[in-house]
Chains A and B, each alone.
Chain A
Amino acid sequence: MDLAFKDIRRHLGKFVATIAGVAMLLAIVLVMNGIYQGNIADGVWLIENTATDLWVVERGRGGPFNEPSRLPADAYKSVAATPGVAQASPYVIYTAQRAIGGSDKQFTIVGYDVFGGLGGPGRIVRGRAIEAPHYEMVADAKLGVALGERVPLGERVYTVVGLTRGAVDSAGNPLVYLSLPDAQEVQYEQDKRALVAARAANLQRLERAGYTPEQAAKLLPLLAAPTNTINAVLVRLAPGADTEAVRSQIADWLYFNVYTADEERALMLEGRLRRMSAVLALFRALLVIVSIVIIALIVYVLTIEKIKSIATLKLIGAPNFVIVRLILEQSLALTFASFALAYALRELIAPRFPRTLAFLPEETAATFLVMLVGGVVASFMAIWHALRTPPQLALGG
């Protein structure tokens, strides 16, 4: 006779309420699993979807994602001349926040050589790649723009010619691809009044240093900040080229830092993503523990409520396994039902969630296993109490 489920039938309200509560906690755990993996997926998306063998960045820097890296605009030419390099392309990447479609949007601009250079958008789901040297953009659908829409960025207006899906930066913001000069223009564009003020200030500075106004006017362009720098050079190796040799050549002779795609990925995981991943892991662990404690308490309370029945069972000769099964089944039923409801909630939440959620079946299975083991452990306290209950408790008033 299945005593556990007959008892559940009698305490259905209490069970349903407990399942709902625990399921909500577990749904948070499952969504956090998705955030955790989504965080990693977003963080490395650009690295994994940029068809390049090497990332060349500023010397001593872990760029271009984890810290700023600036290279001269023509650095890619020197890299391209290195033995073993089949192709080298300039690459610009930076985060921007602009009003698009009436609301502020944060996104990352990627500037690349649109005429056959590396670093362009991978799969375009609608439209086409950038074909004109200026004023065309490919954006991720997450930005909320439509194909053909004209998007103002600074002084210029760009036409959306292609849409990607799932192209995001490490923070989950959508990517916007522009031609290299357009990306540089948007990056360094300054307000006209600010430019006039800066020019006046520089003139005064030169005149104070003893230059005549004519000399100062001639020297002025030299003081202006360069507006055509790039953030990295993307390298595709020639077939059969020795990666290490090419890397050493570039690092030693051109004085740049060079990372393979795997190293760039590791930099991202160990740098920017590590702390957030640790925080998420901590929260997940805490929520799982809280869920198990709740199940333990409920199972314990349910056991205490029927302690006289347990004593009666012992007195009429029920073996211990009948009592252990009664408690264990209730604990497992709570765990199973809570997890099933949590899974359904996760499926409901996921499509509406504002960040990328990536679910790994093995991680979901591992969470379920942890809960299952937790559910069994949670029932130990109740089992221990039940087995210590003397049968004579059933006697007397």
Chain B
Amino acid sequence: MPVLEVVGVSKTFGSGELAVQALKPATFSVEAGELVALLGPSGSGKSTLLLSISLILEPTAGRIVINGQTVYDNGWTGVDERAFRRKNIGFIFQQHNLIPFLTAQENVALALQLNGVGRREAARRAKELLGYLEIAHRADSLPANLSGGEQQRVAIGRALANEPPLILADEPTAALDTERGTKVMALLRKIARERRSAVITVTHDHRMIEGFDTVYHLDDGHLSRMAEAESSAA
């Protein structure tokens, strides 16, 4: 069973003559342990698709199934979107978005505590996760005292904390240099393989697409697999 099924999902902003179809009907699925890249220039519809999968932006039509639960079927199905996100989706951001007044360990533990894990258990698991991400020695540092790469590792730790089946990464390497970006991508691959999470990475950086299991390309709201896109371009 795929972790994510997107069937004919489209999004149109406005109506009548002013209507703009930001996302044309898109269909794809992501399996557990699969690392997927979503490539495309600015304004191609990447964010619209990401927000729709995140249960933040309501699509116009289609169906979205996450971890076997239909969350959208030509309308929201009534799931508590925040509770659903807490349990099923991990987010990794371009600017890391760590809570600046929490230490690295507290940032990771926060995600666990929001999901009902007790304070001590959350701290223990956060420390363990930071160890897995090879950053346990910076557990007590505030984000401002961490390098960009270290901050991104902590952010990845927070995304993994609740062991969500789906991880959405929004330009996770954009704020990093090539070396650090490559390391982060290697880490995401490791996570997908070892933790059996489906990882969708939105990027416009073609340098980083090596090692992805599947690459989708979005152009003017049209989603296609990379091989198809390349052939149609040819």
Contacts and interface: CB of A to CB of B under 8 A. Distances in A.
B106 A315 contact: no
B151 interface: no
Interface string A2-27: 01001101110000000000000000
A392 B57 contact: yes
B209 interface: no
Given A322-B114, A392-B56, A392-B57, A316 B158 contact: yes
Contacts, number: 81
A396 B170 contact: yes
B113 interface: yes
B101 A395 contact: no
Interface stretch (A122-130, A306-314, A336-344, A372-380): A306-314
B94 A397 contact: yes
B51 A397 contact: no
B51 A392 contact: yes
B54 interface: yes
Majority SS at the chain A contact face: helix
B99 A309 contact: yes
A322 B95 CA distance: 23
Contact of A10 (B82, B101, B111): B101
Contacts of A9: 101
A318 B54 CA distance: 14
A248 B101 CA distance: 77
Interface size of A as a range = 20 to 34
B174 A317 contact: no
A317 B93 CA distance: 15
Nearest to B95: A397
B113 A396 contact: no
Contacts of A315: 54, 56, 85, 91
Interface in A346-397: 390-392, 394-397
B191 interface: no
A394 B114 CA distance: 18
Contact of A317 (B85, B99, B171): B85
A392 B48 CA distance: 10
B51 A312 contact: no
Contact of A7 (B97, B101, B119): B101
A239 interface: no
Interface string B159-201: 0000000000011001100000000000000000000000000
A395 B99 contact: no
B47 interface: yes
Most buried by B among A309, A316, A397: A316
A84 B160 CA distance: 93
Shortest Cβ-Cβ A-B pairs, 7 listed: A317-B86, A10-B101, A317-B85, A312-B97, A7-B101, A317-B82, A309-B99
Interface of B: 47, 50-51, 54, 56-57, 82-87, 91, 93-95, 97, 99-102, 106, 109-111, 113-115, 119, 142, 158, 170-171, 174-175
Given A306-B101, A392-B47, A395-B93, 9 more contacts: A1-B119, A10-B142, A11-B101, A313-B99, A316-B86, A318-B86, A395-B94, A396-B47, A397-B174
